[in-house]
Amino acid sequence: MAKESSKQDPEEEKGGEFDDFMADISQEIAQRVESLDTKPKAKPQPEERKKTPAVLEAGVIVDWPNIAERMIEEMR
Amino acid sequence: MSVVNYGTREITCKIVYYGPGRSGKTTNLQHIYSKLPEERKGKMVSLATDTDRTLFFDFLPLDLGTISGFATRFQLYTVPGQVYYAATRRLVLQGVDGVVFVADSQSRQLAENIESLQDLHANLAEEGLDPRTLPLVMQYNKRDLPAGEISPIEELDETLNFRDVPYFSATAVNGGGVFETLRSVASLVLSRLSAPAVGES
């Protein structure tokens, strides 16, 4: 399990260490979040059904009340 | 405790660097800080004495941005290694999700390493945390010192790592092994992430 640290060229290494770390961690988090996302979805209230799906950041749809609405939206 | 909060779309984890005085805990955080891209650099809070010893603790908030739709933050802390700051160490350990034990590889520091490890276990137990199961990574630092001054890795590991957790050789002063250690403890912490109970946010 021991990992001997091998030093690279300092210029080459600069910034790369954090990027490598981010890449690994991002993958790990993605897997964890996916495996944990088992919370039963509460039945949406009628007024919620009419809401536009919440978009917290460009291109990422975080909450669709139901699959039918998503299909309709995507077919538009 | 680290939690995946589906309501606020947040993941927050607290990692503490523990170990005897002058083993290189602050140096670990300083290296991580030095490698952060400018846009992610928050403030590293370091409360040190005139003689450069950590008086209270170091705190480095690591904002990793949005990953899989979750705002992800790691909070990195060090504890003051000196024996007389026991109360501060207990305080910093509150709510910890993972620990990096930074051991000083110098042969003459072996007793201090053992004492600090015992102190860690006692403080975790006092905080109601199980020292046998909390995510832990060992880092054997100062491997760049002359061979005659440092203990072999195997000897350190046999003496300190009775849980057989991941361990890393490091020269934190020039960054060697620092990110490998962080990646390992982060991975252990993430593997224990829990979702809030149904009904919570």
Walking along chain B (201 residues) 10 residues at a time, the average pLDDT comes out as: 77 94 94 88 70 72 88 91 82 93 98 96 94 96 98 97 97 97 95 62 41
Is the separation of the CB atoms in B19 and B81 below 8 Å? yes
* pLDDT at position A39: 54
Reported as type and span, the H/E element at residue B34 is helix B25-35
* pLDDT at position B88: 83
Q: Which is nearest to B170 in space by CA: B111, B82, B99, B102? A: B102
Question: Which residue of B5, B180, B187, B194 to mutate against A (max A Cβ within 10 Å)?
Answer: B180
Query: Smallest CA–CA separation between A68 and chain B, in Å?
Result: 22
* pLDDT tens readout for residues A11-67: 445 568 999 999 999 998 888 888 776 555 555 555 555 454 444 444 444 454 555
Written as one letter, the residue type at B59 is F
Structure token digits, residue B11? 């993941």
Reported as type and span, the H/E element at residue A19 is helix A16-36
Give the Cα separation of B58 and B48 in Å (integer). 8
Give the Cα separation of B137 and B155 in Å (integer). 17
- Exposed/middle/buried for A45, CB within 10 Å: 0-12, 13-18, 19+? exposed
Query: Smallest CA–CA separation between A60 and chain B, in Å?
Result: 7
In chain B, residues with a C-beta closer than 8 Å to the C-beta of A29 are 11, 67-68, 70, 72, 190
Written as one letter, the residue type at B195 is A
Structure token digits, residue A35? 């495996």
**Would you call B68 and A30 a contact, using CB atoms and an 8 Å cutoff?**
yes
Is A11 near chain B, with CB under 8 Å? Answer: no
Query: Smallest CA–CA separation between B166 and chain A, in Å?
Result: 6
Give the Cα separation of B18 and B94 in Å (integer). 13
The SS3 call for residue B112 is: helix
Give the Cα separation of B70 and B114 in Å (integer). 39
Task: Identify any residues that bridge with B54 across adjacent strands, giving them in sequence order.
Answer: B48
DSSP state at residue B69: T
In chain A, residues with a C-beta closer than 8 Å to the C-beta of B175 are 7, 13, 17
Strands in chain B per DSSP E: 3-5, 10-18, 45-48, 54-67, 70-78, 98-104, 136-141, 167-169
| Chain B interface with A: residues with Cβ < 8 Å | 4, 6, 9, 11, 32, 35-37, 40, 64, 66-70, 72, 153, 157, 164, 166-171, 174-180, 182-184, 186-187, 190-191, 193-195, 198
The SS3 call for residue A50 is: coil
CB nearest to A2's CB, from B9, B169, B174 = B169
When pLDDT is cut at 50, 70 and 90, the band that residue A70 belongs to is low
* pLDDT at position A66: 57
> In this prediction, does ipTM exceed 0.85?
no
Task: Identify any residues that bridge with B16 across adjacent strands, giving them in sequence order.
Answer: B77, B99
**Nearest-by-CA chain B residue for A56:** B69
Task: Identify any residues that bridge with B3 across adjacent strands, giving them in sequence order.
Answer: B12, B194
**A75 compared with B31, residue with greater pLDDT:** B31
**Would you call A18 and B37 a contact, using CB atoms and an 8 Å cutoff?**
yes
DSSP state at residue B173: G
Q: Which domains does chain B have, with CATH numbers?
A: 3-191 (3.40.50.300)
Tell me what the mean pLDDT of segment A67-76 comes to: 54
